[in-house]
Amino acid sequence: MVTQTSSFVVPAAGANSAAFLIIPVLALVVALIVAGFFIRFLVVVTKYYKDRMTSPHAPETTRRTDAAR
């Protein structure tokens, strides 16, 4: 009798077992690429706002001063 230890069932080695393994690998690769672009986006946006807030040409309402810190 075969006992199932997890909810993920690994298929037996056969003709179509590679197809079942390609899907989670592709999903993992796509998730890592999306996460990389998201982190890059956050870095660029935070750098843009940091430069904008500390710029001498910024409006008075958005410019940081030593008193505000």
Task: Give the model confidence (pLDDT) of 41-59 as tens digits.
Answer: 999 999 888 887 777 766 6
At 4, give phi and psi (nearest 5°). Answer: -100, 120
User: What is the residue-averaged pLDDT of the chain?
Assistant: 76
At 47, give phi and psi (nearest 5°). Answer: -65, -40
Question: What residues have CB less than 8 Å from 63, skipping those under 6 apart?
Answer: 53, 54, 55, 56
The per-residue pLDDT for 35 is 97
Q: Which is more confidently placed, 32 or 62?
A: 32
pLDDT digits 0-9 by tens, 8-20: 666 565 556 677 7
42: closest CA among 50, 54, 53?
A: 50
- pTM for this entry: 0.49
